[in-house]
């Protein structure tokens, strides 16, 4: 039996409007639990689209650059 490989995901565009939680983490963002904590405290904005939770791009960039 041949092993199946997970398909490599393309890197997210740095200027995207929104990111999945996984993509936000791959950009150097905090872990999943910390992201929800930051959102609860108003330091990160989450969007809910068709049952998916996305991190707003400007909010993530501000957090990563220390502007928040």
Full pLDDT tens readout for the chain, 68 residues: 677 777 777 777 888 999 999 999 998 889 999 999 999 999 999 999 999 999 999 999 999 998 65
Q: In this predicted structure, what is the pLDDT of residue 67?
A: 64
Per DSSP (E only), the strands in 1-68 are 18-20, 46-49, 52-56
Distance, in Å, from the CA atom of 29 to the CA atom of 53, rounded to the nearest integer, reads 15
């Amino acid at each position: 039996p041949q092993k199946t490989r997970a398909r490599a995901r393309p890197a997210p565009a740095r200027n995207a409007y929104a990111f999945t939680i996984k993509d936000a983490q791959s950009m150097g963002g905090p872990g999943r639990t910390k992201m929800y904590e930051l959102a609860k405290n108003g330091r990160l904005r989450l969007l809910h689209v068709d049952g998916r939770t996305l991190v707003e791009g400007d909010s993530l960039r501000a957090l990563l650059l220390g502007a928040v």
